[in-house]
Copies of this chain bind each other. A is one copy, B any other.
Amino acid sequence: MRIVVLAGGIGGARFLRGLRSAAPEADVTVIGNTGDDIHLFGLKVCPDLDTVMYTLGGGIDEEQGWGRRDESFRVKSELAAYGVGPEWFGLGDRDFATHVVRTQMLGAGYPLSAVTEALCTRWNPGVRLLPMSDDRVETHVAVTLDGERRVIHFQEYWVRLRASVDAEAVVPVGADEAKPAPGVLQALAEADVILLPPSNPVVSIGTILAVPGIREAVASAAAPVVGLSPIVGGAPVRGMADKVLAAVGVESTAAAVARHYGAGLLDGWLVDTADAASAAEVEAAGIRCLAVPLMMTDTGATAAMARAALALAEEVRA
């Protein structure tokens, strides 16, 4: 079975681990968000791709969900001693090496998709990890700081400001001109199932869908498309998705996110049992909806979510 998953960072990576456990024989292609990418210290950092790679490759810091296990911050503290920041971005020593290798390969002319494949030969994530695009896309967020309207990098909004101010607009700069990375459209066309994990609907999956051709490929795919709600009981399970949902005028409810994706894209939608009452509203929008536990507390619970998503895909296919 060929499964394609559109994934952001932590939520997507953890879901993928459950999916791998639930369907170990499946041929899984991950289309990763690169809108969070940032250049730091002259290095190209791809947080979401790395989170997927490290999580599935056994290198992730399980506690925090991103970055490397047994990490140290010697380079970063030395950079700070030179007065070179930003200090708010936690770039560890082991993680640093990944960005050095990536930056060198990009500098040598390899596209990001080839670089990602090369990095994965070390991590063996057990999935085919594709960036959504080899072109530069950078998510910017419009905010008002000290009475002044500013447009800042998504990482500055998310990591430095901890989404503490309202996002007035979220713009995936460069998405309009970006092309899907090699393999992306083919994977979607040949998929047996397409899954939207409980990743951020705006800045993760929304950014992937903003690359011209990808939304259309998902919508027109022969495969059933099933998503899992990142909102449980009116709040994001983790992260600050509510802040960026507000920026696009979407309520932070499981049903509102389903309607935001829309029946043109989604065939099925899983909400948490806490939101079972909203299933009727989703179904009224033309999307088959079931309520199952959606808390990724461990791989077992996450595998059960993946099985429920695959089962729903079979149901809507029939």
User: Does A164 touch B at the CB level, under 8 Å?
Assistant: no
User: Does A119 touch B at the CB level, under 8 Å?
Assistant: yes
CA distance in complex: A107, B43 (Å): 12
User: Does A311 touch B at the CB level, under 8 Å?
Assistant: no
CA distance in complex: A97, B87 (Å): 14
Which residues between 87 and 124 of chain A lie within 8 Å of chain B, taking CB atoms? 93-94, 96-98, 100-101, 103-104, 107, 119, 122
User: Does A78 touch B at the CB level, under 8 Å?
Assistant: yes
Assess the B122–A93 pair: CB atoms within 8 A: no
Assess the A98–B74 pair: CB atoms within 8 A: no
Given contacts A103-B42, A104-B41, contact A97 B122 (CB under 8 A): no
Assess the A82–B42 pair: CB atoms within 8 A: no
The contact of A74 among B72, B103, B119, by CB within 8 Å, is: B72
User: Does A318 touch B at the CB level, under 8 Å?
Assistant: no
CA distance in complex: A111, B122 (Å): 37
User: Does A83 touch B at the CB level, under 8 Å?
Assistant: yes
Which A positions have Cβ atoms within 8 angstroms of B?
A: 41-43, 72, 74-76, 78-79, 81-84, 93-94, 96-98, 100-101, 103-104, 107, 119, 122
